[in-house]
Structure formats: C-alpha cells, structure tokens
Structure 1
C-alpha cells in the first residue's frame, strides 16, 4: 500500500456514512485543528488544486460511500474518492468469516504491514491491505461483536 496508504477503525454509528463522517471529523481535528489555512473540512475540500493533486493521504480524501462490492476502475471517474465494502467472499478469505471482529481486523492489518515489509519487489501482496490496488479509493469492513456491527475498519490509499 505504500507511504500514502491508510487504515482506521472507528465505532459504528447507525450507518457506514455516519461512521465515516465522524471519523473524518476526528482526523481533521487531529491533522488540521491548529492549521491556519483550513478551519473546516469544507474549506479543505474547497481547495480543489490541493485535494486533487496532493490530497491529505488520509481518510479525508474519501468523499462518499459506495455500496457496490465491484472493484473500483481507474477508467470510471465516479469510483475515485470513494470507499466500498470488501466483498463477503474476500472477508471469508482474510478472516474465515463474513463477520470479523475488531481484533481480527487489527491482526490482519498488522500482518499486512509485516508482509509488505518482508516481500520482495514485484511480489503480489495477498494480505488484507493488498486487496487495495487503486489510489484515491478504499474499502470498508463492518466489524462485529455478538453478530452486531460495533466498528468499521477503513483502508485504502491516496496521494502519490
């Protein structure tokens, strides 16, 4: 996933969209809370040149949730700046279930980073974070406890 890759876990708040919005508010406050240039997320997004050329290299580069599990395509402009659910079959491959827990997600992310640092150049990354291949997009995974969603794991990459 590289230096511009990102991964977050946030509490589930009634919907993935509400969870994303709350997470973005937290990340904005951490990254830009004392920034004199952007006092709101809207001001950050209004700087189209910065957002489209460089980006924040964080979940702030995501603009909306897409419900399709089809892989994003570079030829489709509507696929950029989105997160989408990881397909159920891919969840089973990475977690052994379609209802992973926070601990399983965090373990898979840690294993992904270990795998990436140990892999040889050009080797295909088959880890969870290796699912992500297109910049300016990401995936989400609903994380469960007792069959109820409690958190959302987001991962992807943006910037260069």
Structure 2
C-alpha cells in the first residue's frame, strides 16, 4: 500500500456504516484535531479541490459503504471513494474461514507488509492487502469473536 495505504480495525457498532463513521471521526481527530486546517469533517470534505486531487491518504477519503461484491473498476465512477465487503471466496483464501478474527486479520496485514519489504513484489498479489488494486477505494472484512461479528477491518488505498 505504500504511503497511501491504510488498514484499520474498529469495533462493529450496529453496522459497517456506523463503524466507518466512528473510525473516520477518530482519524479526523488524530489528523486535524487541532482545528488549524479544518474545524470539522464537513469542512474538510467541502474543500473539493484538496479532496479530489490530493486527499488525506487515510480512511477519511472514503465516503460510503457499498454492498456489492463486484471488484471496483476505474471505469465505474460510482466505485470511487467506497469500501465494499471482501468476497467470501477471498476470505477463505486469506483466512481459511469466512469468519476471521481480529488476530487473523492483523496477522494477514502483517504478512502483507512483510511481502512489501521483500525483493519479490509479486508476492504482494497473494496477500490480503494485495486484493486492493484501485486507488480511492477499499474493502472491509467483518471480524468475529465466538462466531459473532465484533469488529470491522478496513483496508485500501487513496492518493498517490
């Protein structure tokens, strides 16, 4: 993912959309909490030139959750600035289950970053973060404790 990549785990509160908004509020506070650049997320998103051209290189660049399993395509304008679920068959490849835990997710992300640092960049294609191919988009994975969804893992890339 490089400098523009992101990966977060956040508690699953009623829905993925609620979890996304809670995470964005947390990240906004970390990046802009002093209020010097932007006083609110609304003010940040109102700066269309910045958001369309540069972005924050964080989850703040994501505007909505979509429930399609279709892989995002650069030719589909509606795919930009979205996160979508990782398909069940891809969950099985990366976790050997459709109900991964937070620890399994964190381990998969760590393996992805290790692959990025090796001399074999093609290895990234076989990792969880290698699933992500299109900038300004991402995926989410429901993470489980005792077979119940308790957290959401978000990963993707924005910016250059």
| TM-score normalized by the length of structure 2 | 0.97
Matching of residue 87 in structure 1 with residue 87 in structure 2: yes
**Gap change, CA 1:68 and 1:119, over 3 Å in 2:** farther
Deviation at 1:121, TM superposition (A): 4.7
1:1-160 map, 5 Å = 1-121=1-121, 125-160=125-160
Task: Output the CA distance in 2 between the equivalents of 1:118 and 1:129.
Answer: 15
Closer/same/farther in 2, CA of residues 119 and 131 from structure 1, 3 Å limit? farther
| Higher helix proportion | 2
Cα shift at 1:80? 0.1
Which of structure 1's runs of 4+ aligned residues deviate more than 4 A?
A: 121-124
Question: Structure 2: 5+ residue runs without aligned partners?
Answer: none
Contact 2:51/2:61, CA 8 A, preserved across alignment: yes
CA drift of 1:123 comes to 5.8
Q: Over aligned residues, Cα RMSD in angstroms?
A: 1.1
CA contact (8 A) 1:115 1:125 kept: no
Q: CA 1:96 to 1:122, structure 2 compared with 1: closer, same or farther past 3 Å?
A: closer
